[in-house]
Structure 1
Amino acid sequence: MGENRPEVRQQVRSGRGSVNTVAAGDVDTVQVTNHYHRAKWTGVITCASAVAFGVVYYLAGDPDVRDALASGPPLSVTVQTDDTTLDHNGAWFFPGRPLSAGQTLPADQVAAIMSKRSDGVDTYGTTTRVTLEGNRHHTVDITGIHIKVRSKAVPAPGGTLLVYPSQGEDTNIRIGFNLDEAVPVPRNVDPSDKGFGSRYFDGHSVSVKKGEIVNFGFSFQTVTWDITYDLVLDEVIDGRRTTQTVTNGSRPFHTRGIAKAYDQALDTDYQGTFSVTDSADATAQICGTPCKVWLDQVSASATAK
């Protein structure tokens, strides 16, 4: 109408940046439009959140979904290996000669000396306690256990063989592996500790659900080899087969057989005092004469098949 009004411009922004400018007479319209869109999107977001919550709540009861979202391995594993002389079952190998000829030491002093060394290796037998806890809502069935060998060699002669009396163990399930077998298999351990028996999984099964705990006491024995190895669990979860590797912390398990000769052998008397002894006598205490892994007739038959 011939009247000149100064032009007032307002910038309207979206998620993609500035989109347009409008004249002064349109400012109120823009504000109303913004309120409308804001209310519209708030309703959409609220509705979508409610639907998403309902879906999550529904699926949370589905074990397939919960297991798919679960983190970590199917079974949580805790390994406790006797890594100190004082708690050890059987014998240790150490490089060098800890005692001089004619020297004697009480057992606690020997344990203190040896516990500071990191070069000791289980000789003839390794005893390990393994605790498994279910980490899936579907049942985890342990259908077998086998050994994965990392290294294998004949024990080098020399060093010291230290014989230590057995301290015993308290476990729910006891399984033994004869590492001298061509293919070591899990075997029942004789209740009197005189040897390994039939194959464990021929007559047993182990199932673990979420939160359930199973304790194993493993015994690994060898006369022949200086061997490092891992444990491998064969598992079935809701019809799907998988495996899970168990190590001794960050290291493999390590068991050393009987060497042909030692520089020194140490044994303890009834008073708990260690002294140098004859290597053949020390070896006989550990694994008999001749030295061997003790298997019953059932195991021998199974091994021959």
Structure 2
Amino acid sequence: MNDESPSRRRFRELALVGIAALVSAYVAYLFAPVIQQREEDAKDPVKLGEPAFHVEVREAYNQADDGIHWVFPERLPVESFAPLSPPGGPAELTEAERGKDPERLLGELGGSRVGWNCDGADCVAVSRYHVTLTGNRKQPVQIRSMRAQILAEHAAPSGTLLAIPPQGGGPADVIYIDLDADRKDARTVDERNQPTTRIFTDVENRYAEQGEPLTLIVIATTARPVVVEWELVLELTQDGTRETVTVKLDSGRPLRTIGWLAVPRYDVVYVRDYARDAIVEQQP
């Protein structure tokens, strides 16, 4: 027979509740560092397998310097370039064509926009990319080297050249890569955007805190009649740890540089006749 009084039973129940609370608090205390570490790991880019930089890449054409130059693998009739003529010009457009951005239409024709870099009368074919690298580590990330890695090469388009010469965020570093050189390190440029002999990472220190963007204008060149597909390889250090990040287009496709100035002969070349404000075939 249980002759325990109600008050004693109540005291025992409260004691058990108190002991359970103490045990729970002690267990929570013991495991708090583990739980905290798991929470930190769930946010740690390294533990999540994320790269040291978030990368954004877009093609960067400076029309004031480049003009408008497109190359196509096939010979195209002059009517293909009607969107570049003014309304009421020599070629009338369909309603569908009127609504299209000319650059998109030229791309649908199989064209590739190309650029050049000139020192006086000496010009070389280049590509330009605007690269934004945003730090993704708790400690500052230092760029120790930048170089191009060739992925593929094939002949440059030689069907049609459309050539319309020029008529007259925050700060970005400009780097220059010669894809024909044995060493494809990124070099500095002078005030005329001409390459120097200095390797960029030998003379410039660039760090990125977490969430801090670094902006680069990457100029790559080839003097051969080829299409070079490549990627930019960054060697990094962060708190004594070395990492490698490769830079491609946001779509995942490789960067491309077309040696369009070195093509021996195009099937046809079109230029703008400014007097008639029309695209016409260039006569030999």
Aligned residue among 56, 69, 83 for 1:78: 56
Equivalence for 2:112:
121
Q: Distance in 1 between matches of 2:160 and 2:195?
A: 27
Equivalence for 1:5:
none
Whether 2:73 is the aligned partner of 1:95: answer yes
Partner amino acid, structure 2, of 1:72: E
Bigger shift: residues 85-94 or 48-57: 85-94
Q: Distance in 2 between matches of 1:128 and 1:89?
A: 16
Q: Please show how residues 145-184 of structure 1 align to structure 2 within 5 Å.
A: 145-155=146-156, 158-165=158-165, 171-184=171-184
Aligned residue among 256, 262, 268 for 2:266: 262
Aligned length: 246
Q: Distance in 2 between matches of 1:167 and 1:180?
A: 30
Give CA-to-partner distance per residue, 1:231-258, whole Å, 9 cap, x none. Answer: 1111011112111011112200112113
Q: Distance in 2 between matches of 1:204 and 1:212?
A: 17
Structure 1 residue 227, shift from structure 2 partner: 0.9
Q: Distance in 2 between matches of 1:38 and 1:48?
A: 15
Equivalence for 1:18:
none
Bigger shift: residues 112-121 or 244-253: 112-121
Structure 1 residue 45, shift from structure 2 partner: 3.1
Structure 1 residue 83, shift from structure 2 partner: 8.3
Whether 2:276 is the aligned partner of 1:276: answer no
Kindly tell me: are residues 85 and 38 of structure 1, through their superposed partners in 2, closer, same or farther at Cα, counting changes over 3 Å?
A: farther
Q: Distance in 1 between matches of 2:200 and 2:165?
A: 27
Partner amino acid, structure 1, of 2:190: D
Equivalence for 2:207:
207
Equivalence for 1:223:
223
SS of the residue 1:235 aligns to:
strand
Structure 1 residue 160, shift from structure 2 partner: 1.2
State the Cα RMSD in Å: 4.3
Kindly tell me: are residues 233 and 155 of structure 1, through their superposed partners in 2, closer, same or farther at Cα, counting changes over 3 Å?
A: same
Structure 1 residue 166, shift from structure 2 partner: 5.9
Structure 1 residue 47, shift from structure 2 partner: 2.3
Q: TM-score, normalised by structure 2?
A: 0.69
Whose relative contact order is higher, 1 or 2, with alpha carbons under 8 Å and at least 6 apart?
A: 2
Whether 2:131 is the aligned partner of 1:138: answer no
- What residue ranges of structure 2 are gaps of 5+ in the alignment? 3-8, 88-96, 115-124
Structure 1 residue 48, shift from structure 2 partner: 2.3
Partner amino acid, structure 2, of 1:100: V
Assess if the C-alpha contact under 8 Å between 1:172 and 1:217 holds in 2: yes
Assess if the C-alpha contact under 8 Å between 1:151 and 1:227 holds in 2: yes
SS of the residue 2:29 aligns to:
helix
Partner amino acid, structure 2, of 1:74: A
The structure that has the greater radius of gyration is 1
Assess if the C-alpha contact under 8 Å between 2:140 and 2:238 holds in 1: yes
Equivalence for 1:290:
none
Q: Distance in 1 between matches of 2:85 and 2:148?
A: 34
Q: Distance in 2 between matches of 1:169 and 1:262?
A: 39
Equivalence for 1:48:
27
Partner amino acid, structure 2, of 1:196: P
Structure 1 residue 266, shift from structure 2 partner: 2.5
Aligned-pair identity in percent equals 22
Assess if the C-alpha contact under 8 Å between 2:71 and 2:113 holds in 1: yes
Structure 1 residue 59, shift from structure 2 partner: 10
Q: Distance in 1 between matches of 2:268 and 2:169?
A: 28
Assess if the C-alpha contact under 8 Å between 2:84 and 2:102 holds in 1: no
Give CA-to-partner distance per residue, 1:11-68, whole Å, 9 cap, x none. Answer: xxxxxxxxxxxxxx9xxxxx9999987765554333222344366669999x9x9565
Q: Distance in 1 between matches of 2:240 and 2:279?
A: 55
Q: Distance in 2 between matches of 1:115 and 1:248?
A: 18
Bigger shift: residues 259-268 or 232-241: 259-268
Question: Which ranges of 4 or more aligned residues in structure 1 deviate by more than 3 Å?
Answer: 31-43, 50-61, 65-71, 82-90, 103-114, 164-171, 268-274
